[in-house]
Amino acid sequence: MRLVSTMLWCCLVVAIGSNFGLPQAIAQPIENVNPSVVKIVSQVNGKTKVGTGLVIRLTQNAAYIVTASHVVEGDPSPKVEFYPQRNHSVSARIVGLEGGDDRGLAGLLVEGTLPRGIHPMPLNAQVDVRPGDAVTLVGFPRMAGVPWAVTTGETVGRKGRDLVFSGPVDEGNSGGPLLKGQEVIGIVSEVGSPFAYAVPSLIAQYTLESWGVRFGVHLRSLPATVLPQYVVHMIRNNRFHHPADLRDTGFSGFVLGAFKHEFATLTKDGNSVVLDKATGLMWQQGGSDRDMFLSDAETYVQTLNATRLAGFSDWRLPTVEELASLIEPIGAHENLFIDPRFSAIQTACWTSDSTRDFVKLTDSWIVNFLQGSVYSDTSKTKYFTRAVRSLGSTLTTP
């Protein structure tokens, strides 16, 4: 492991604000939020209510949605319209409701065959929110007269547990996401003039978890050049585990996270793979039987695709967050910090990500399951390879 000097670390702290501090793949246009937003129509006492919801979790044949309680209260089977199938409604059932609360939340579940192209949008409780911050909403305001309308406003402050914001919103926005940049910082709970209210993401997440809605995470799949600060924050923000304490070397300290996997093993064409429904990833159960240079690891993955391992030809090296998600808090699998479903041969593995040290550009991010750590090292060192592929929302799983 190559150590980061004090001087270099100071330079990195300054550099985090530059355009190579975070991977460019993370930034997306606001239109990419649309597949996570749904239109909700309910019938209460002979009157039609229209509101917005956010898909916060997907499993094989189920979509979990959060909305404002007053959008659906009184209708046990509200209708949901997904972005890829506009003008086609399906029934949902309520899994949780803060009834009688004008600024409460509701959790919905849609079961059955889901349209392709929808994806969950995580709630981010880590974003710093201050008065005057610009915010964006996606929803169905009547004043706009267009579906999946994008409007903007700004935060005003806090009132009790709620975020207060201003902007052109009406009842059709109720239950929709309040975004700062590309991060969901709250769920719109009440609209009015001149101010509206949103339940902060942290409270929304706790509320949904109390109803049994478990949260997965959407991890970056495209390779990128990322700095140590990004990796440190990524581990903490995703609630991953990092049993090793590498603070003295410029990497992450000890972190006992709370992330929960949904593993399932599967054998296809004689090859064992591990599915993780919490991250939407399919992993090799094992990997390379020997350590190798990075260039050899890339060739190894190309061979997997040429031979269609488990029937697939889209295997790749994992990003640092994808591979770091596999670290367990205790080294209980033959002294490795990884779930027993995986082989114990691959003690430390390559990722597809690199880092920048102002001297060389050849350092790659490594996940070490023997130490329970994430660090960067030169491509001239040898590590094992464990390939991964992304699952589609319609994949049939056991």
**30-83 pLDDT per residue, tens:** 667 889 999 999 999 999 999 999 999 887 689 999 999 999 999 999 999 999
Burial class of 4 by CB neighbour count within 10 A (0 to 12, 13 to 18, 19+): buried
Q: Are residues 289 and 337 in the same domain?
A: yes
Q: Do 193 and 342 sit in the same domain of this protein? A: no
pLDDT tens digits along 146-182: 778 899 999 999 999 999 999 988 899 999 999 998 8
- Asked if residue 233 and residue 290 are part of one domain, the reply reads yes
Radius of gyration of the chain from its Cα atoms, rounded to whole angstroms: 22
Q: Which domain holds residue 197?
A: 134-210
Task: Evaluate whether residue 126 is within a structural domain.
Answer: no
Task: Kindly report the CATH number assigned to the domain that includes residue 83.
Answer: 2.40.10.10
301, 386: one domain: yes
Given a contact cutoff of 8 angstroms between Cβ atoms, the answer to whether 359 and 249 are in contact is: no
Final residue in a domain of this structure, among 175, 192, 210: 210
The predicted pLDDT at position 22 comes to: 34
> Alpha carbon of 212 to those of 95, 206, 250: distances in Å?
8, 10, 38
Q: Please check whether residues 180 and 263 belong to one and the same domain.
A: no
Q: Do 78 and 19 belong together in one domain?
A: no
8 Å CB contact between 260 and 267: no
65 domain-assigned: yes
- Looking at the structure of the chain, the number of domains it has is 3
**What is the pLDDT at residue 28?**
41
Write down the pLDDT at residue 29: 52
